[in-house]
Structure 1
Amino acid sequence: MPVGILAAGLAAWASLRLLPPAGPARLRLPALAGLVLRFPVQSLAAGIDVARRALAPTLALRPGILAHPWALPPGPARAAFATLSSLLPGSVPAGSDDGATLAVHCLDTGQPVLARLATEEARFARALGHG
């Protein structure tokens, strides 16, 4: 674990030195800490949800693709959020063809997937200083 943390820190430092962030966005540490603390909770919830669905095949599923409208500006923040959004239970990002929406594959389109994505995207944007 210490080697991994050191490697991640050095990689982040090298990335910021080689390609400094553009624009007025600045990290907001309290909001970023909130995201980091939510990571294990979201990951655990996603794992439990998928396990529950696998072990109880009688659950009515309505799989499908939903379109989440982007609130983040185009750029690396969108890619980072798409990666983060894969932690939400029952959904996985599936691309963005039109540039205005994120296609999300869902196990159950009856769940509030788009509302959860909008909430998480707003938190992510605050952590990055985008609003």
Structure 2
Amino acid sequence: MFWMILMGPALIDLPAGIAAAAAGTWASTLLWPADSKISVPGLARFLIRFLPQSVVAGVDIARRVFTPRPTLHPGFVVYHSSLPAGMARDAACAVMSLQPGKLPIATEADGTLHFHCLDLREPVEEQIAADEAAFCEALYSVRRHG
């Protein structure tokens, strides 16, 4: 649907789009852990948090970029994740990478995550912890350890 909104409806492309969507769905079901269940209310709360936060952060980044003297204090933050190693932690990092202003750049086996941040004056660790908690709430099977 998103592709059709961007490119417009073209019936000639519909079979390829359906095949790509079916292949993506099939691949994701093979990769998804068998004991996982998605919490629909948790997913809704996650999206309600994630989407506006992404827009606000994007506007903030644009504002900083277009000011004559950007007020950035970049640096690195180390965060200790409570997610188990593997797909859950990797997926959470992928989602967090979509938020402007902080980017996961490395993970370690013990749960240590390294983030590059545009402004260290902001409560980055608290934001990451809140993002991780919202992500965990969306998935029933993700059990935080630690």
TM-score between the two structures when normalised by the length of structure 2: 0.73
Of 28, 37, 46, 1:26 maps to 37
**Greater alpha carbon shift after TM alignment, 29-38 vs 70-79:** 29-38
CA contact (8 A) 2:36 2:139 kept: yes
CA gap of 1:39–1:64, structure 2 versus 1, over 3 A, is same
CA gap of 1:96–1:30, structure 2 versus 1, over 3 A, is same
Q: Matched residues in 2 for 1:61 and 1:42: separation?
A: 19
Post-superposition shift, 1:123? 0.9
CA contact (8 A) 2:74 2:120 kept: yes
**Greater alpha carbon shift after TM alignment, 33-42 vs 97-106:** 33-42
Q: Matched residues in 1 for 2:33 and 2:109: separation?
A: 25
Residue 10 (structure 2) aligns with: none
Alignment of 1:76 onto 2:62: no
Higher radius of gyration, 1 or 2: 2
CA-based RMSD: 2.5
CA gap of 1:25–1:34, structure 2 versus 1, over 3 A, is same
Alignment of 1:64 onto 2:88: no
CA contact (8 A) 2:74 2:117 kept: yes
**Greater alpha carbon shift after TM alignment, 120-129 vs 42-51:** 42-51
- Sequence identity percentage: 40
Structure 1 alignment gaps of length 5 or more:
none
Residue 106 (structure 1) aligns with: 117
**Greater alpha carbon shift after TM alignment, 116-125 vs 97-106:** 97-106
Structure 2 alignment gaps of length 5 or more:
5-16
Post-superposition shift, 1:58? 2.8
Post-superposition shift, 1:55? 1.5
CA contact (8 A) 2:64 2:71 kept: no
Aligned residues: 129
